[in-house]
Homo-oligomer: A and B are copies of this chain.
Amino acid sequence: MYSEGVSTSERLIESTRELLWERGYVGTSPKAILERAEAGQGSMYHHFKGKPDLALAAIRRTAEELRATAEGVLGGPGTPYERIEAYLRRERDVLRGCPIGRLTMDPDIIASDELRAPVDETLDRIRERIAGIVEEGKDQGQFAPSLDGEAIAATVLATVQGGYVLARASGSPAAFDAGVRGLLSLLAPDRPA
């Protein structure tokens, strides 16, 4: 499963990342992590204080990765509308859901300020980034001056996060795509009144 040269602590973090994405925090057991990482009980408690500590390391890395991915499209070329469209349409494994957003449904994550912090910060920063792009679009006359950047940014992010919910409920990415399509049709600069 794992090639030589990857450290045990590295394998533990990567396995935890996968399991948190698939099963959430409550649904992920140390035993499952150890099996996937091909590591023994002792290794985990040597490198990490326990399940919450290991999960924190995993969540931080996933959060960092998600922020980078988002910035990759939002900071790309194109008009404000095009960059938001690129964000909404970027390749996604829709049925797997959002590795960060899904954690908000985990009671133990929400109960812990430390575990919730990277989730909150990640979504918040992407939201701020989108809000700025909307304001940019207003300055350029691409979006109506009446639009509130912060509010539109929340709508964009919510459409994505909620799209995952609809898709997983139906077992098909179609509802996610429909939601994105609907939002883009409302947002389109040349939308008929």
Contact = CB atoms under 8 A, between A and B. Distances in A.
A71 interface: no
Interface string A150-188: 111111111111111110111100011011111101110
B159 A192 contact: no
B169 A155 contact: no
Given A158-B166, A159-B158, A166-B157, A191 B146 contact: yes
A164 B110 CA distance: 13
User: Closest 7 CB pairs between A and B?
Assistant: A158-B162, A162-B162, A161-B162, A155-B182, A151-B182, A154-B178, A154-B179
Interface of A: 22-24, 26-27, 97-98, 101-102, 104-108, 110, 116, 119-120, 123-124, 127, 144-148, 150-166, 168-171, 175-176, 178-183, 185-187, 191-193
